[in-house]
Copies of this chain bind each other. A is one copy, B any other.
Amino acid sequence: MSAIATDIDQICINTIRGLSMDAVQKANSGHPGLPMGAAAMAYALWTKHLRHNPKNPHWFNRDRFILSAGHGSMLLYSLLFLTGYDLSLDDIKQFRQWRSKTPGHPENTHTPGVEMATGPLGQGFATSVGYAIAEKYLSSYFNRPGHDIIDHFTLGICSDGDLMEGITNEAASLAGHLKLGKIIFLYDNNHISLDGPTSDTFTEDVVARFRALDWHVIEVNGMDVKEVDDAITVAKLHTEAPTLISAETIIGFGSPNRQNTHLAHGEALGPDEVKLAKQTLGIPLEPDFYVPDEALKFYREAVPKGAEEEADWDKKFAAYATEFPELAKELRALIKGDFGQAWIDALPVIDDKIATRASSGKVLNAIAASLPTMIAGSADLSGSTIITIKDDGQFQADNPTGRTMAYGVREHAMIAAVNGINLHGACKAYSGTFLVFSDYCRGSIRLAAIMELPSIYVFTHDSIGLGEDGPTHQPIEHLMALRAIPNLDVFRPADGHETAVGWKVALQSKKTPTLMVLTRQAVPNLTPSDVKNHPAEKGAYVLREASSKAKCQVVGTGSEVSVAVEAAEALEKEGIPTRVISMPSWLLFSRQSEEYQKSVFPKGLPTVSVEAGTTLGWAKYAQAQVGIDHFGASAPGPLLMEKFGITAAHVVELAKGLLAE
């Protein structure tokens, strides 16, 4: 094909190429190759298929578009600017600069129209599965015959790198199993990765793999707008399986010396090559960031078209609301993020000596009826993590109103799916697996924290207390390693009451994801029973005052709060007045006033911490620490607690040591 623009399609496509080259060149940093190679197929998708309203990026029934290959961000920024989102040409000129709307990789918190942060490969693809689950669940729950109120596609572009990542295979296998037919991914099959040709690393038959995963696969020339257009049309009609459109493209298309090589991938082309590329593509050399009037005019048709689409939907919704006023009211509230208050009133008071995972299961089933779009799920550990919502069955292709997901042994894809469901909106999704397996899904947990997304992740079996499974299954460093992630609430409740509080905080959170970290073993009830107005919401609090002016205090979390209490009682018996602090959440505590924080950890008051995990980090709050700085072992949990010194006696010893100093 000729690269020179001869028709409006080519002019529009080359506009993306020019903007992308120039932006990367100006920043002298970034990835020009993907936008230049994928411009044609993205153009086909965005101008001929994507249902969206640039003036209202939050329109609920829009198609979701995910650029999984986030390094090609200039492709997305070009499209957002051109189709009329709140992103200017000046913003594009600020590509990769301080506080611009055009950071190196797309960030939903920075840029209108960016659905989610992408960049770490595989995340976008896997998160898309969550979007599609939400669409399927919500449409099953809300739609009525003749009223397809929720009815949109989840579309995306992914790269070789995305498809090499394990998370993508997990997600694709899950999506195929669930027959999520409204997922359509364009695979930018350009045979080049950052280091060189994919013949060095990636010679599998991707098409056959995706067919084995029960996907519908179409192969096209990704440089041909018509072929891509037709393929998407076919994909949209094929709703029995997700579709992968494997599109052959040429990375860095138009750059005479770099196209089709890895030199086009991850760095600016250089001024000379930009010039040559513009000449090749028929783009005027001046000005930089050239946008032909006819291209802008064509792209901007998205604005009236989007307004019309949303207005049509509003009409549909009005008709729906007339016929189903209650459902419409419910959906309207959910779209606003209003999940009501009924579930808070339903929070139970759990006074049994049971594991916090069991308390959690009770909480969830007590509130589930009040939160009909709360979606559970686990990675083949529903029995152990007790996350199942009992009444509605499993979510499956033939039971889309089920709301406990069976994610299979796919921790990473599970967390990404939970994120996708929550990003979609109108749902509250949570996951369930063992704490030690947080190692398998940190990529997606971190991304939720970056995206300011209030996902909820249940992690049970939270210490050596799990016992016989041994060191590969016993978290040691995980609590602290997760607390280290910014904007992530690691909530480790001490008992059933704090567990209910944790769920309350997690479900009310607007911008912070929450880890509910729960025990396998039973714990006594120690904290106040008023779960609606509980000091645990402050992250840390004085659980027990000393009998007289405190000479020392013990701070514990989760199952070790009872160790702290026992130690304090022993110290009191020996005449040492001792306070006990329960500290379920470091993050929530850090958000309290300095005054409050000082009241819990007064300067100069000797403090011992006790937690069945690494002591790393505890020096911030305690001068002496009881913890475990080595791997666990296979033996019954109570014996391990004893052997590894997670005991009241050990706390007492360290407290006395501090007092003797």
What mask results when residues 250 to 280 of chain A are scored 1 for a CB within 8 Å of chain B, else 0?
0000000000000000000000000000000
A631 within 8 A of B: yes
Residues of B within 8 A of A413 (CB): 166
The minimal Cβ–Cβ distance linking A388 to chain B, given in whole angstroms, is: 10
> What 10 A-B pairs have minimum CB-CB distances, sorted nearest first?
A166-B166, A103-B634, A201-B408, A477-B484, A208-B212, A119-B472, A169-B169, A481-B481, A98-B635, A161-B409
Residues of B within 8 A of A467 (CB): 29
Which chain A residues (111-139) contact chain B, with CB distance < 8 Å? 117-122
A620 within 8 A of B: yes
Interchain Cβ contacts under 8 Å between A and B, 27 examples? A29-B468, A30-B468, A96-B468, A97-B634, A98-B634, A104-B470, A105-B634, A107-B470, A117-B472, A120-B440, A120-B472, A120-B473, A122-B166, A162-B409, A165-B411, A166-B412, A169-B170, A176-B203, A193-B408, A194-B381, A194-B384, A201-B407, A205-B213, A209-B213, A481-B481, A481-B482, A486-B631
Which chain A residues (372-421) contact chain B, with CB distance < 8 Å? 378, 380-384, 394, 396, 406-413
Complex alpha-carbon distance, A484 and B97, angstroms: 33
Most chain B CB atoms below 10 A, which of A213, A380, A436, A630: A380
The minimal Cβ–Cβ distance linking A153 to chain B, given in whole angstroms, is: 23
Residues of B within 8 A of A303 (CB): none
Residues of B within 8 A of A643 (CB): 98
Which chain A residues (430-456) contact chain B, with CB distance < 8 Å? 436-437, 439-440, 442-443, 446-447, 449-450
A214 lies within 8 A of B209 (CB):
no
Residues of B within 8 A of A121 (CB): 409
Q: A107-B472, A203-B214 given; name 7 further pairs at CB < 8 Å.
A: A29-B468, A165-B410, A166-B410, A201-B407, A440-B442, A476-B484, A477-B481
Q: A203-B177, A450-B472 are in contact. Are A96 and B166 (CB under 8 A)?
A: no
Residues of B within 8 A of A161 (CB): 380, 409
Q: A164-B173, A408-B202 are in contact. Are A486 and B476 (CB under 8 A)?
A: yes
Complex alpha-carbon distance, A483 and B481, angstroms: 9
B616 lies within 8 A of A484 (CB):
yes
Complex alpha-carbon distance, A619 and B211, angstroms: 53
B104 lies within 8 A of A634 (CB):
yes
Complex alpha-carbon distance, A378 and B200, angstroms: 12
Complex alpha-carbon distance, A283 and B61, angstroms: 63
The minimal Cβ–Cβ distance linking A240 to chain B, given in whole angstroms, is: 14
Residues of B within 8 A of A165 (CB): 166, 170, 409-411, 440
A406 lies within 8 A of B195 (CB):
yes
Residues of B within 8 A of A631 (CB): 449-450, 486-487
The minimal Cβ–Cβ distance linking A114 to chain B, given in whole angstroms, is: 12
